[in-house]
Structure 1
Amino acid sequence: MSDDLGLFADDAGEPPRRSRREAREQRAQLRRRKRRGSVTALAGLLVLLLVGGGVVYGAMQILQIGSYDDYEGAGTGEVVVEVSSGDTVSHIAQTLSKADVVASSTAFTKAAAENKQINSIQPGFYLMKSKMSGSAAVGHILSAEAKTGRIEVRGGQRLEDQLSPDGGKTPGILTKLAEATCTGDESQCTTSEQMHAAAGSADLASLGVPEWAIEGASKAEPERRLEGLIMPGIYDVKPGEPPEEVLRQVVTKSAALLEAAGLPQAADSTGRTPYELLTIASLVQSEGIERDFDKVSRVIYNRTTDPQMRLQFDSTINYPLDKPTLLTKSEDRQRPGPYNSYQNYGLPPTPISTVSKAAVTAAEKPADGTWVYFVKCYPDGTSCFATTMAEHDRYITEAQQRGAF
Structure 2
Amino acid sequence: MDIKKSKWKIAVAISIAVVILIGVFIFTQIGPYNSKNKKDIIVEIPKGASVNAISDVLYENELIKNKQLFKIVVKLSNKAQQFKAGKYLLNQTYSNQDIVGLLASGKIYHDGIKVTIPEGSTSKEIVSILTKNKLGKKEVYEGLIKNPKELYEKFEFLKEEKITSLEGFLYPETYYFDEDSTENEVISKMLSTFNGMYTEKLVQRQKELKMTLSDVVNLASIVEKEAVLDEDRPIIASVFYNRIKIGMPLQSDATIQYTFEERKKIVTYKDLEIDSPYNSYKNKGLPPTPIASPGIKSIEGVLYPADTDYIYFVAKLDGGNNYSVTYEEHLKNVKEYKEQRDKLNQNKTKQ
- What range is the shorter-chain TM-score in? 0.5 to 0.7
Q: Give the letter for the 1:399 counterpart.
A: Y
Report the counterpart of residue 266 of structure 1 in structure 2. 205
Report the counterpart of residue 245 of structure 1 in structure 2. 185
* Structure 1 residues 395 and 85, CA gap change in structure 2 (3 angstroms): farther
Report the counterpart of residue 349 of structure 2 in structure 1. none
Q: Report the 3-state secondary structure (helix = DSSP H, G, I; strand = E; otherwise coil) of the residue aligned with 1:278.
A: helix
Equivalent of 1:382 in 320, 326, 338: 320
Report the counterpart of residue 332 of structure 1 in structure 2. 271
What is the CA–CA distance in structure 2 between the aligned matches of 1:325 and 1:266, rounded to whole Å?
36
Where does structure 1 lack aligned partners over 5 or more consecutive residues? 1-65, 73-80, 97-107, 127-147, 162-172, 183-188, 219-224
Equivalent of 1:194 in 104, 129, 140: 140
What is the CA–CA distance in structure 1 between the aligned matches of 2:244 and 2:92, rounded to whole Å?
65
Equivalent of 1:236 in 148, 151, 176: 176
Report the counterpart of residue 91 of structure 2 in structure 1. 109
Q: Which has the larger radius of gyration?
A: 1
Contact 1:93 1:109 in 2 (8 A): no
Q: How does 1:164-183 map to 2 (within 5 A)?
A: 173-180=126-133, 182=134
Q: How does 1:91-102 map to 2 (within 5 A)?
A: none
Q: TM-score, normalised by structure 1?
A: 0.57
Q: Report the 3-state secondary structure (helix = DSSP H, G, I; strand = E; otherwise coil) of the residue aligned with 2:199.
A: helix
Please tell me whether residue 255 in structure 1 is matched to residue 189 in structure 2.
no
Q: Tell me by how many angstroms 1:251 deviates.
A: 1.1
What is the CA–CA distance in structure 2 between the aligned matches of 1:152 and 1:284, rounded to whole Å?
21
Q: Tell me by how many angstroms 1:203 deviates.
A: 2.7
Q: How does 1:368-379 map to 2 (within 5 A)?
A: 368-376=307-315, 378-379=316-317
Q: Tell me by how many angstroms 1:270 deviates.
A: 2.1
Q: Tell me by how many angstroms 1:305 deviates.
A: 1.8
Contact 1:152 1:232 in 2 (8 A): yes
* Structure 1 residues 396 and 150, CA gap change in structure 2 (3 angstroms): same
Equivalent of 1:159 in 112, 120, 123: 123
Equivalent of 1:298 in 233, 238, 256: 238
Q: Give the letter for the 2:187 counterpart.
A: L
Equivalent of 2:258 in 312, 315, 319: 319
What is the CA–CA distance in structure 2 between the aligned matches of 1:92 and 1:240, rounded to whole Å?
28
* Structure 1 residues 293 and 121, CA gap change in structure 2 (3 angstroms): closer
- Deviations 1:172-231, CA, capped at 9 Å, x for gaps: x22333445x4xxxxxx523333223333463444744436632122xxxxxx1111122
Higher relative contact order (CA 8 A, sep 6+): 2
Q: Report the 3-state secondary structure (helix = DSSP H, G, I; strand = E; otherwise coil) of the residue aligned with 1:150.
A: strand
Aligned residues: 273
Please tell me whether residue 355 in structure 1 is matched to residue 281 in structure 2.
no
* Structure 1 residues 155 and 393, CA gap change in structure 2 (3 angstroms): same
Please tell me whether residue 284 in structure 1 is matched to residue 223 in structure 2.
yes
Equivalent of 1:149 in 93, 100, 113: 113
Q: Report the 3-state secondary structure (helix = DSSP H, G, I; strand = E; otherwise coil) of the residue aligned with 1:236.
A: strand
Contact 1:178 1:195 in 2 (8 A): no
Q: Give the letter for the 1:152 counterpart.
A: T
Report the counterpart of residue 214 of structure 2 in structure 1. 275
Of Structure 1 and Structure 2, the greater helix share is in 2
- Deviations 1:226-280, CA, capped at 9 Å, x for gaps: 11112233322221122112212321232121236713x2222324222212211
Contact 1:304 1:310 in 2 (8 A): yes
